[in-house]
């Protein structure tokens, strides 16, 4: 049996990073402290904290943070007795300097995220994280948009740079369970490191997709409490834990405490219901990066057009994370050409 099959399942809670999109990056230090403390007491393994677009993301293009992310990282580290604080880094947005600073503040894991065809830009950051003594993982975004063969090719590159695991990242919430199985199985059969999975719930299959990934051998799994994540949110952590317990999978996290965190601590932070509405549904349908939703809604209001038309057009263009500036261009062009639905 391959050695990676013997690895225990490790959960990373992403509500304080992916969920940053939902609150327009306006988390307060006290909110982060409260959430991190609750998650730590429940037994969460990793808690990811950073701007929604990763280290260095607080810009006019991606959205300015209310509180500097380094302050939030330090606050989360201060609250955690057992859980490890993780960060996300997208090369081109975040730099080695921010990575080093996060490490000095106590972050113990980094996921280096690239588009599914651009793993080559992750080499410096993956290797630097290893030098800093951090766990260094690869994160292949928009995994639905490339062939299984291409995904394997790119995952192998990340492995060669020193990544200790590579994630299949369903950034658009566009994958179906059978497609998740194909990708996880292919990576498991091709890599000598762990395989992870990160889902979005835009087509209402995040939990099903995550279970499919686990059944195919993924051991690094993401969830967001109360679905606090971009689009319709990620795999809802407390729901996933309940399903896993029904399946006889014990990961050492207290289900009742996670329910309490979701209801009493995270729930009041959410500005609206994290349900699948027309905007997030179109994200999954069109295969568009989940964090684009709020930007598309704002552009639609500005130009007087349906945000769904913007998202569908972006899907046709196969835009990727980091191309948020294209949203206004597309909206302006649609309005100019009067291509909106009637």
Active site residues: 21
Residue 18 is assigned to a ligand binding site: yes
Is the distance from CB of 202 to CB of 276 less than 8 angstroms? yes
CA nearest neighbour of 116 among 160, 188, 162, 167: 167
Ligand-binding site membership of 200 (annotated): yes
Cβ-based neighbours of 256, under 8 Å, separated by 6 or more: none
The torsion angles phi and psi of 192, rounded to 5 degrees, stand at: -105, 15
Q: Are 305 and 342 in contact (CB under 8 A)?
A: no
d(Cα 296, Cα 79) in Å, to the nearest integer? Answer: 36
289 marked among binding-site residues = yes
From residue 6, give the alpha-carbon distance in Å to each of 152, 162, 211, 217, 223: 21, 20, 17, 9, 22
171 assigned ligand-binding residue: yes
Answer whether 32's CB lies under 8 Å from 242's CB.
Answer: no
Is 40 annotated to bind ligand? no
**Binding site for substrate: residue ranges?**
17-18, 171, 198, 289
Residues comprising the binding site? 17-18, 171, 198, 200, 289
Annotated binding site for Mn(2+): 18, 198, 200
């Amino acid at each position: 049996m391959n050695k990676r099959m013997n690895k225990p399942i490790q959960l990373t809670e992403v509500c304080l990073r992916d969920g940053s999109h939902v609150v327009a990056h306006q988390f307060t230090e006290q909110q982060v402290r409260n959430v991190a403390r609750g998650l730590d007491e429940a037994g969460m393994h990793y808690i990811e904290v950073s701007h929604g677009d990763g280290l260095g993301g607080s810009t006019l293009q991606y959205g300015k943070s209310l509180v500097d992310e380094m302050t939030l990282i330090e606050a989360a580290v201060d609250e955690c007795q057992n859980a490890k604080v993780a960060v996300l880094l997208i090369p081109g947005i975040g730099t080695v300097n921010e990575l080093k600073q996060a490490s000095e503040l106590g972050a113990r894991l980094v996921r280096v995220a690239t588009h599914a065809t651009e793993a080559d830009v992750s080499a410096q950051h993956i290797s630097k994280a290893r030098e800093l003594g951090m766990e260094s993982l690869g994160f292949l975004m928009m995994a639905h948009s490339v062939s299984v063969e291409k995904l394997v090719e790119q995952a192998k590159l990340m492995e060669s740079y020193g990544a200790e695991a590579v994630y299949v990242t369903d950034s658009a919430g566009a994958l179906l369970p059978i497609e998740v199985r194909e990708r996880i199985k292919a990576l498991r059969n091709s890599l000598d490191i762990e395989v992870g999975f990160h889902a979005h719930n835009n087509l209402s299959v995040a939990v099903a997709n995550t279970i499919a990934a686990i059944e195919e051998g993924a051991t690094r799994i993401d969830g967001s409490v109360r679905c606090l994540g971009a689009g319709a949110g990620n795999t809802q952590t407390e729901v996933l834990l309940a399903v896993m317990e029904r399946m006889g999978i014990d990961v050492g996290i207290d289900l009742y405490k996670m329910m309490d965190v979701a209801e009493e601590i995270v729930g009041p932070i959410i500005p609206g219901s994290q349900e699948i509405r027309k905007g997030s549904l179109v994200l999954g349908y069109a295969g568009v990066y989940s964090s684009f939703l709020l930007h598309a809604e704002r552009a639609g209001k500005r130009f007087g057009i349906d945000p769904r038309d913007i998202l569908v057009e972006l899907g046709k263009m196969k835009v990727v994370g980091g191309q948020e500036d294209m949203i206004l261009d597309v909206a302006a062009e649609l309005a100019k050409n009067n291509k909106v639905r009637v």
